[in-house]
Amino acid sequence: MSNMKYSLIIGLLAFAVTFIVTLLLQSPQPFWASFVIAFLLFEISYFFFFQKEKRKYKL
């Protein structure tokens, strides 16, 4: 499985969990809060996997 797929799965799971939590907390804008958190986690995981590949091939 490629690194992009792992990052997408992490982002989607983060979106789903955050969306449910913000709905339970009766947030005024649960979609946008979930989107921001999911995007941040997607970017962090993509960077992590990118650095891992970079170290693997010593680029």
Q: What angle do CA 23, 29, 33 make, to 5 degrees?
A: 85
Report pTM.
0.82
- What is the dihedral sign for C-alpha 8, 14, 19, 22? negative
- pLDDT tens figures, 3-55: 788 889 999 999 999 999 999 999 999 999 999 999 999 999 999 988 888 88
Whole-angstrom Cα distance, residue 39 to residue 11? 6
Q: State which amino acid sits at residue 16.
A: A
C-alpha atoms less than 13 angstroms from C-alpha of 27 in its C-beta half-sphere: 13
